[in-house]
Amino acid sequence: MSDERKVQEVFARYVRATDRRDGKTQGALFTDEAVVSIKIKAGPDSYEPFGEPLIGGAGVEYAVTNLMSPHPEGGSSHHTTFDHLIDVDGDDAHLNAQFVVYKVQALTRPVDGWPTGTIGPQATIRPVESGYYDTDLRRIDGEWKIVRHTVLMDMPIAIPGT
């Protein structure tokens, strides 16, 4: 497998762990010194920091496990990433990708079954986030790890109480 594909696979594992709210798996993708920051769009070509950066895989694991809301009954999220720009230079790599996050909410199956004529998936799906991931990785002992990860959000973020 090419280095570019290995880097892209690290990212596929990152978004799947986010969707599952699996902090342990996601944290393992980062080095102990990794810096993770979120920035929100402040103008056509500018971003401003949101919150304090997370440090290392342990910081990522804690945030995913303790700060991300669990999915409601029948709910999930689905990250899509696309237009990956990947540059590999020896043991260092840079990845930039667009993303969209969808909220999925399954409808509850009626006790008496679906009404006559009901066909296909029974859920609502709506986009809730979009932006870019800008990420540096390093090959350490043959394994690609994230050393810097910036989430560039296309929209503001509201946190209760702030």
Backbone angles phi, psi at 64, to 5 degrees: -65, -45
What are the tokens at 57? 């895989």
What is the value of pTM for the model shown?
0.90
96: in domain: yes
Average pLDDT over the chain, rounded to whole?
94
Going by pLDDT thresholds of 50, 70 and 90, the confidence category of residue 161 is low
Residue 146: closest CA among 98, 96, 93, 97? 93
Condensed to tens digits (0 to 9), the pLDDT of residues 22-79 reads: 999 999 999 999 999 999 998 888 999 998 999 999 999 999 999 888 999 999 999 9
79: in domain: yes
159: in domain: no
77: in domain: yes
Condensed to tens digits (0 to 9), the pLDDT of residues 82-102 reads: 999 999 999 999 999 999 999
Q: What is the mean pLDDT of residues 102-109?
A: 93
3-state helix, strand, coil in the chain (%, to 5): 20, 50, 30
| CATH code assigned at 114 | 3.10.450.50
162: in domain: no
Total domains in the chain come to: 1
**What b/e sequence results for 136-158 when a residue is b if at least 16 CB atoms lie within 10 Å of its CB, and e otherwise?**
ebbbeeeebbbbbbbbbbeeeee
The pLDDT > 90 percentage for the chain reads 84
Q: Which domain holds residue 14?
A: 3-153
What are the tokens at 73? 């009954």
Largest CA distance in the chain: 60
